[in-house]
Structure 1
Amino acid sequence: MLRKNKWLTLGVVLLVSLALLVGCGDNNGDNNGNNNGEEEAADNGTEEATYPMTFVDDTGQEMEIAAEPQRIISLTPNLTETLFALELGDRVVGVSDECNYPQEALEVDQVGSAWGLNLEAILALEPDLLVASGQTPQDAVDQLRENNLTVVVFAPRTLDDIEEMFRQVATVAGVPENGVELANEMSDGREAFNQKVAAEEGDRPTVFVMIDENLYTVGSGEFMNEMINNAGGINVAEDIGAGWPQISEEEFLQIDPEVIISSFTPRDDILANSNWQGINAVQNGRVYNINDDVVTRPGPRIVEGLEELYNAFYE
């Protein structure tokens, strides 16, 4: 097993749990080498991928990709979802234990969890590309590279970054036109959502995202903060700090959110907490457990996540 890495804060641990917890066989090589694919790339302004390719990932690591990848391992659920959405599922030969979508991903060989990747299983699959997220422990990435494996890390922080990730993953895999199409699809969905929210009358509700009962939440600089705003809410923790800050119970009572979105803590537990009975959201029963996967994973189901949030804000 690869060495485990301790997170710097509990907030990061919980976020990773959200993003990571909560396909298949060899590719025949015919998907992207035909003339139709080249014509589509020309039509949407993308350049045909050429190899060897020099690529710099989101950690600043420069690497050379010798040939179009045919055996890909995904180390995080959001990238598994992205690969399948890019029509690369038949090249995915391995996924992490937490990958549960799409259904086809459940049929792919598993290579361990984010906290304990199985190096032996990974090597046995003979991958020519591994894709990892910014939450993948750096020591795990380093050990994979020490075994002469090509690991590309994608770490989107904003919704625009996620669209760019689609384009980058597709470029590395040799199907840039698929990345442009998926990015445009998400962009169009976001724009439609902006118009939907703009049509709502009245004030936007104030929202608190409760990662757990220790009151970790999402602050500025993260795509979840953007999602709250795009879905028509106001993130009350946006000005508290960047990333995943923890607030005190006194601060929680002071900010008095109108809506609470809970990741792990059951709705009934929040409503029953005797210390929180004076909070607006608790008094009015506006506490929601939503589908974590579509809200916490920076991937192709972001627009579904916006819909989940919108329904909670404007029920």
Structure 2
Amino acid sequence: MRTVFRLFIVCFFGAAIALGLFYAWATQALNVSAPTEDESAAHAIEFRIPPGSSLRAAVQILNTAGVPLDADLFALLARLQGQGGAIKAGSYVLSHGETPQTLLQKLVGGRVSQASVTLVEGWTFRQFRARLDAQTTLQHDTAGMSESEIAQKLGLPSLEGRFLPDTYLFDKGSSDLDILRRAGHAMERALASVWQARPQGLPYKTAEEALIMASIIEKETGRPEDRAHVAAVFVNRLRIGMRLQTDPTVIYGLGDSFDGNLRKIHLQTDTPYNTYTRAGLPPTPIAMPGLAALQAAFTPAASKALYFVARGDGSSHFSRTLDEHNQAVNRYQRGRP
């Protein structure tokens, strides 16, 4: 009987010691340090878990990154917590002070590392694409694709004006197509919302026409407080059949040939986007309008103005008649009283 009791005691204390050692391992900081100039500075390690990876595959990825982690002990920790197959794919950062326990919770909770990209109001799709191309944390699946191929991939009829400017957070290693898809869906939702709530009497036959107008308002507005008044000018012109005569559409139509200096010959050269030579809206948006420009296209100011001219300080002077407009041009553009 004493022998059995002693064996029980030995097993009990052995199990307690093993459990204590296991707990100590699970709560001990992992080695995420690497030699630097002072040979002691800790640094964070970024790693990516591909979709469908097992827990042991994740450990192997960490081992390859230089983090010593025992796969058997880590698997046991996960099983004891009922989380053996629950890890989520994504990019992660393993920081100094992380333990096997906190690492497991991070993988199970999908607490991925993120980056962000800001797409700016008034940019063209080419500018959007250049910003995405410059993101080193993105996977560039659009590399080598033409714009028509990208549009087809996204299921869009065209690309200009189709993406809502905003700051987009993304999991490092995400596809640039994912960002474009999210921005495209955001624009679809925003346009659908304002189109559905539109007031009566606006000169738009389709939501597409309103999007085109919003892109012009975006490019023509120097100050936010002028946005609704700029919208009113162009809406008033559309209503009476007057040509829009807006420089940004002409510049867009010139494409790569535009050198930054808009000349009289440009205003006289007919293109599908020259609103001096053609009536109505251009065939497509000329930039990516933000939410404020979209709203202005549907809620223009209660104004009868048909003209506006830049004052030189970012604001604009609005006029109802051509005589008044010419006087404003002389004053603000030519320096005449």
TM over 0.5: no
The structure showing larger relative contact order (alpha-carbon pairs under 8 Å, at least 6 residues apart) is: 1
Q: TM-score range by the shorter chain?
A: under 0.3
Q: TM-score, normalised by structure 1?
A: 0.25
Q: Give 1 or 2: higher helix fraction.
A: 2
Q: Give 1 or 2: higher strand fraction.
A: 1
